[in-house]
C-alpha cells in the first residue's frame, strides 16, 4: 500500500519541531506582533534576548582559544599563520574602504538629509552623551596596547577577542616549539575542551527562538514603527548601499574562489536570521566557525580571520558611518567639499577599527569625524538617535557576511580551502552536522569511501597522529 502523506498541520508541526530556521522566523513574527500591539509587554521581555547574548558571549573566548591553538599546531607552520593574518588585514582594509567610498557616493547622489533644514542650536547634544556613556574611541596607540593582554585570566574575563587571539598565538607557537614529545597531552586536552564548548553552544542554541522573540518585541515596543517614515530616505539609502556592497562582495567571492554568496547565505540562513533577530553577530560566531570549517576552510584560517574581522572588518558599520556623516551635514545645511569628504574616508578608516566593544561606538565615530572636519556641529549626531536601532539589521548582516567572505577568500589565497568540499557543502550535497554530535554520526566503516558526514575532522590529522613536531635532538639544537 502507498504510504499516506502527512496532513498539512502535521508537516508544519514537524518543521517547527526540527527546523531552527522555522522556529526563529516564527519567533521574529510573533515578536513584531507583540511589540506592536502590546508595547509594554514587548519591553518587558527584553531579558530573553539579553540573556541569550550573554550566554553565547561566555563561550566565545574559550572557543576562539581552542580553535586557534589547535589550528596552529595542526598546520605545523607558524609562518603560514602569520601570512594568513597579513592577508586578512589587507582584505579587511580593502573591503572597508570600498564600503566607505560606496556609502559616500550614494550619499552624494541621493542626498538623504537635504531639505530637513535642522537648526543645530535646537539639538540636544546631551542625548549623545547619554547614549555613549561619556566615553570615547581609543587612540591608535591605546587600541594596540589594549590588544595586548596584561593578564591571561583577564583577557578571558573581559571577553577581549584580540587579547585572547594574542594569547592563543603565543600558546600555539609554544606548542610548536616544544614538540609533541614534551607536551603530548596538551593538544588532545585542548581539542576535547573545544568539543565541550561546541556542545554547550548546541544547548544554548535551543533557546534562540526565545531570544529572537524577546529582542524583536523590545525593539518594536520601545521604538515603534514611526521612525520608518520619518527617516525613510536615510534607511532606504543605507540598505540599498549595503545590498550593492553585498553584490560586489558576491562577485569578488565568485571570481576568487568560484563559490556563490547566495548559496552561502542559504547554507547559513539559520545563523543569519538569528543574528538579525538579536541584532548581534557575536551570537552566531561559534556556529559560523563550525559551518566554515565543515565547508572546507582550515582551522587556523577560521580561528584567526573570523574573530579578527569582528574588530577590523566592520563593512556594515562603515556604510552607516559614511552615509550618516553626509546625512548630518546635509540636514544642517553644510556642503562638504571633495577634500572634506576624502577626510571623512581617512578618519573613518581609522575610527572604525576601534569600534568593537565600545558602547555607542557609531556615535563616537561620527562625533570624531565631525570634530575632524570642524564644520559639522558635534551635537548634530543626535539626529541619528531615532534611527540607529533600525540600522542594526543592515550593519549586522553586512558585517557578518563580510567576515565570512573574508575567511573564504583568505583561505583560498593561502591554499587553506578545500574548494571541492566547499561547493558540495554549499550545494547541499554534504549536510551540516553540528560538531557536538559528530562523534556519534560521522563513523565511517572500514574501507568505506563515504566521507559526506566526516566533517572538518577529515581535513586535519587527529591527536593520535601527533600533529606537533617531535622535539629536536640535542645535536640538531647545537
pLDDT in tens, 185-205: 888 888 888 889 888 888 888
All residues at 6 or more sequence positions from 104 whose CB lies less than 8 Å from its CB, including other chains: 322, 323, 326, 341, 344, 345
Q: What is the pLDDT of residue 412?
A: 94
Confidence of residue 454 (pLDDT cuts 50, 70, 90): very low
Considering 46-55, 362-371, 458-467, the range whose residues carry the highest mean pLDDT is 46-55
Rounded to whole angstroms, the Cα distance separating 147 from 132 reads 21
pLDDT in tens, 128-187: 555 555 555 556 677 678 778 888 888 888 878 788 888 988 888 888 888 777 878 888
Q: What is the pLDDT of residue 455?
A: 40
Q: Kindly list the distances between the CA atom of residue 351 and the CA atoms of 152, 166, 220, 302, 372, in Å, as whole numbers in the listed order.
A: 27, 22, 30, 25, 11
Q: Is the pLDDT of residue 439 over 70?
A: no
Length of the chain: 478
Q: What is the pLDDT of residue 105?
A: 92
Please give the mean pLDDT across all residues of the chain.
Answer: 78
C-beta of residue 419 within 8 angstroms of C-beta of residue 296: yes
The average pLDDT across 273-294 equals 87
Considering 81-85, 240-244, 296-300, 376-380, the range whose residues carry the highest mean pLDDT is 240-244
Q: What is the pLDDT of residue 433?
A: 79
The average pLDDT across 12-35 equals 79
Confidence of residue 462 (pLDDT cuts 50, 70, 90): very low
Q: What is the pLDDT of residue 45?
A: 82
Q: DSSP letter string over 279-304?
A: T-SGGGHHHHHHHHHHTTB-HHHHHH
Rounded to whole angstroms, the Cα distance separating 77 from 317 reads 34
pLDDT in tens, 56-68: 888 888 888 888 8
C-beta of residue 271 within 8 angstroms of C-beta of residue 422: no
Q: Which residue has the higher pLDDT, 253 or 75?
A: 253
Q: What is the pLDDT of residue 60?
A: 84
pLDDT in tens, 379-437: 677 777 767 777 888 888 999 999 999 999 999 999 989 999 999 999 988 888 776 54
How many beta carbons lie within 10 A of that of residue 429, not counting itself?
10
Q: Which residue has the higher pLDDT, 372 or 187?
A: 187
Q: What is the pLDDT of residue 64?
A: 85
pLDDT in tens, 103-132: 999 989 988 877 766 666 655 555 555 555
The average pLDDT across 252-256 equals 95
Q: Is the pLDDT of residue 470 over 80?
A: no
Q: What is the pLDDT of residue 230?
A: 57
Q: What is the pLDDT of residue 126?
A: 58
* Whole-number CA gyration radius for the chain: 24
Q: Which residue has the higher pLDDT, 79 or 153?
A: 153
Q: What is the pLDDT of residue 478?
A: 35
Q: What is the pLDDT of residue 223?
A: 62
Which class for 249: exposed (0-12), middle (13-18), buried (19 or more C-beta within 10 A)? buried
Q: What is the pLDDT of residue 295?
A: 92
Q: What is the pLDDT of residue 475?
A: 37
DSSP H helical ranges for 279-418: 285-294, 299-312, 315-331, 338-351, 361-373, 392-414
Which class for 446: exposed (0-12), middle (13-18), buried (19 or more C-beta within 10 A)? exposed
Measured in degrees and rounded to the nearest 5, phi and psi for residue 417 equal: -125, 125
Q: What is the pLDDT of residue 120?
A: 63
Q: What is the pLDDT of residue 449?
A: 39
The average pLDDT across 474-478 equals 37
Confidence of residue 94 (pLDDT cuts 50, 70, 90): very high
Rounded to whole angstroms, the Cα distance separating 122 from 127 reads 12
In this prediction the pTM is 0.75
Rounded to whole angstroms, the Cα distance separating 410 from 438 reads 26
Amino acid at each position: 500500500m502507498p504510504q499516506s502523506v502527512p496532513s498539512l498541520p502535521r508537516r508544519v508541526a514537524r518543521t517547527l519541531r526540527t527546523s531552527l530556521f522555522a522556529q526563529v522566523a516564527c519567533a521574529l513574527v510573533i515578536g513584531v506582533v507583540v511589540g506592536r500591539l502590546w508595547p509594554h509587554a514587548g519591553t518587558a521581555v527584553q531579558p530573553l534576548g539579553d540573556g541569550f547574548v550573554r550566554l553565547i558571549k561566555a563561550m566565545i573566548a574559550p572557543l576562539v582559544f581552542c580553535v586557534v591553538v589547535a589550528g596552529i599546531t595542526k598546520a605545523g607552520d607558524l609562518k603560514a599563520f602569520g601570512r594568513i593574518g597579513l592577508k586578512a588585514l589587507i582584505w579587511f582594509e580593502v573591503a572597508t574602504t570600498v564600503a566607505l567610498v560606496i556609502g559616500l557616493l550614494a550619499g552624494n547622489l541621493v542626498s538623504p538629509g537635504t531639505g530637513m533644514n535642522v537648526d543645530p542650536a535646537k539639538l540636544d547634544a546631551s542625548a549623545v552623551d547619554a547614549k555613549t556613556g561619556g566615553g570615547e574611541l581609543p587612540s591608535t596607540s591605546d587600541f594596540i596596547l589594549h590588544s595586548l593582554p596584561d593578564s591571561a585570566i583577564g583577557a578571558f574575563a573581559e571577553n577581549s577577542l584580540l587579547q585572547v587571539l594574542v594569547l592563543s598565538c603565543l600558546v600555539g607557537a609554544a606548542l610548536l616549539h616544544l614538540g609533541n614529545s614534551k607536551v603530548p597531552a596538551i593538544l588532545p586536552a585542548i581539542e576535547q575542551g573545544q568539543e565541550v564548548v561546541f556542545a554547550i553552544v548546541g544547548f544554548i542554541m535551543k533557546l534562540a527562538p526565545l531570544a529572537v522573540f524577546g529582542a524583536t518585541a523590545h525593539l518594536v515596543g520601545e521604538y515603534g514603527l514611526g521612525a520608518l517614515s520619518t527617516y525613510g530616505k536615510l534607511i532606504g539609502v543605507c540598505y540599498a548601499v549595503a545590498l550593492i556592497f553585498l553584490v560586489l562582495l558576491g562577485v569578488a567571492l565568485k571570481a576568487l574562489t568560484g563559490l556563490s554568496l547566495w548559496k552561502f547565505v542559504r547554507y547559513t540562513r539559520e545563523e543569519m536570521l538569528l543574528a538579525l533577530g538579536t541584532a548581534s553577530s557575536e551570537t552566531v560566531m561559534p556556529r559560523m566557525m563550525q559551518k566554515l570549517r565543515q565547508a572546507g576552510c582550515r582551522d587556523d584560517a577560521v580561528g584567526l580571520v573570523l574573530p579578527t574581522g569582528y574588530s577590523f572588518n566592520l563593512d556594515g558599520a562603515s556604510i552607516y558611518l559614511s552615509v550618516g556623516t553626509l546625512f548630518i551635514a546635509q540636514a544642517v545645511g553644510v556642503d562638504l567639499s571633495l577634500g572634506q569628504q576624502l577626510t571623512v574616508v581617512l578618519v573613518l578608516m581609522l575610527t572604525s577599527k576601534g569600534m568593537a566593544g565600545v558602547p555607542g561606538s557609531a556615535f563616537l565615530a561620527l562625533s570624531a569625524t565631525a570634530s575632524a572636519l570642524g564644520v559639522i556641529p558635534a551635537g548634530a549626531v543626535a539626529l541619528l538617535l531615532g534611527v540607529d536601532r533600525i540600522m542594526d539589521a543592515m550593519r549586522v548582516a553586512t558585517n557578518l557576511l563580510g567576515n565570512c567572505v573574508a575567511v573564504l577568500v583568505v583561505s583560498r589565497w593561502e591554499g587553506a580551502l578545500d574548494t571541492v568540499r566547499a561547493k558540495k557543502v554549499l550545494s547541499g550535497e554534504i549536510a551540516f552536522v553540528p560538531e557536538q554530535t559528530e562523534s556519534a554520526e560521522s563513523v565511517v566503516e572500514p574501507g568505506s569511501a563515504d566521507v559526506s558526514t566526516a566533517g572538518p575532522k577529515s581535513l586535519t590529522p587527529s591527536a593520535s597522529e601527533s600533529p606537533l613536531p617531535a622535539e629536536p635532538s640535542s645535536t640538531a639544537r647545537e
